[in-house]
Amino acid sequence: MTPDEYCQQKASSSGSSFYYSFLFLPEVKRRAIVALYAFCREVDDIVDELDDKKRAAQKLDGWRDEINRLYHATPQHPVTQALVLHLKQFNLAEEYFYEIIDGMEMDLSNHTYQNFSELSLYCYRVASVVGLLSAEIFGYSNRNTLKYANDLGMAFQLTNILRDVKEDADRGRIYIPHNEMLEYGVTADMLKLTHTTQSMRNLFRQQARRANEYYVSALNCLPNEDRYAQRAGLIMAAIYKKILYKIERKNYCVLERRINIPVWQKLWIAMRTYQQEKKLSKSPNR
């Protein structure tokens, strides 16, 4: 199995909504973003699958060493062997990979966040930084696109937090700010229940509102000249906004079941968004 094939298998087997946006990229950019996504999956899986925190921390340190080897042209892992081919073509900052690992490591020690300021650092590391690296791969000409990428990553992570609140609580991880939970009288144990109370709905509504604000901010920051280059991110945004809308339409009943949308709908949204952006890119009014 080649490094590219390894990354492709890692990405496609994850079932993530992100994968569908990669289908509409040129081959070189698609291989680069799939390799980046495979890296994220590798380090995320360490934290999710290893109960031994010491062992997980050691494995994350191993990935820090591997990133160092990547930037010194001596990668050993299939993911970094795939990534090394793209370092010269795309401006993939080394420190961003360390930030992602640092974010994953936060899950080993931080099980609650006192306020949104604390949570936003976690979201920046595990999501916004990925957005910034992705923007470099997709391409841009206006630096405002980086603000778009940062805010879109925040929006994605906040959507994930709301969708996966019970699954995370069952693992002992609470990503909703503690001060906001206190405001609505919601405890960590309540997030493990299988029914949603009105106080929980009010809390979840606040989280959805914040996510929507980041979507609005992101899309307002994206310059017209970079929209088509960033079409993969816009496809992701359309899919994730649909998930958030479904959560809202289901009255925030995220404890009863994990709310998602079917694969066929993700593909339909991806195709529709791609066609819209392609049409816009050819418009003489742009």
232-274 confidence digits (pLDDT tens): 999 999 999 999 999 999 999 999 999 999 989 999 999 999 9
- Domain count for the chain, please give it: 2
Nearest-angstrom CA–CA distance, 164 and 87: 34
Would you place residue 21 in the very low, low, confident or very high pLDDT band (cuts 50, 70, 90)? confident
Query: Is residue 122 a part of any domain in this protein?
Result: no
Q: What's the DSSP call for residue 225?
A: G
* Domain presence at residue 125: no
* 82 in Cβ contact with 39 (< 8 Å): no
Residues 169, 239, single domain; the answer is yes
What Å distances lie between residue 84 and 88, 91, 120, 269, CA to CA? 8, 12, 30, 32
Residue 253: CATH number of its domain = 1.10.600.10
User: Do 179 and 91 belong together in one domain?
Assistant: no
Listed ranges 8-12, 49-53, 223-227; the one with the highest mean pLDDT: 223-227
Same domain, 268 and 155: yes
Whether the predicted pLDDT of 18 surpasses 60? yes
Examine the domain organization and report whether 83 and 152 are in the same domain: no
CA atoms within 13 A on the CB side of 157: 23
Shared domain for 265 and 147, answered yes or no, is: yes
Does residue 269 belong to any structural domain of this protein? yes
- Structural contact between residues 194 and 255, judged by C-beta atoms closer than 8 angstroms: yes
How many Å apart are CA 221 and CA 13, to the nearest integer?
Answer: 33
- pLDDT beyond 70 at 221: yes
pTM listed for this prediction? 0.94
Q: Are residues 277 and 157 in the same domain?
A: yes
Residue 115: inside a domain, yes or no? no
Alpha helices in 13-112 (DSSP H): 18-22, 27-49, 53-70, 78-83, 94-109
Q: What is the pLDDT of residue 110?
A: 82
Tell me the pLDDT band of 130, cut-offs 50, 70 and 90: very high
Residue type, 149: A
Q: Is residue 150 part of a domain?
A: yes
pLDDT for the residue numbered 105:
95
- pLDDT for 280 equals 83
Instruction: Decide if pLDDT at 171 tops 60.
Output: yes
Predicted confidence at residue 22, as pLDDT, reads: 86
- Residue 80 CB contacts under 8 Å (≥ 6 apart), including other chains: 39, 66, 67, 69, 70
d(CA 80, CA 32) in angstroms, rounded, equals 11
- Asked whether the predicted pLDDT for residue 162 surpasses 70, the reply is yes
Q: What is the pLDDT of residue 25?
A: 92
128 domain residue, yes or no: no
Give the domain extent around 249: 136-281
Report DSSP letters for 23-49, one per residue. Answer: TTS-HHHHHHHHHHHHHHHHHHHHHHH
Q: Domain boundary residue among 109, 127, 155?
A: 109
Q: What is the dihedral of CA 68, 91, 134, 53, to 10 degrees?
A: 10
- Tell me the pLDDT tens digit for each residue of 25-55: 999 999 999 999 999 999 999 998 888 899 9
pLDDT at 39: 96
Q: What is the pLDDT confidence band of residue 191, given thresholds at 50, 70 and 90?
A: very high
Residues 207 and 95 in one domain: no
Buried b (16+ CB within 10 A) or exposed e, 39-55: bbbbbbebbeebeeeee
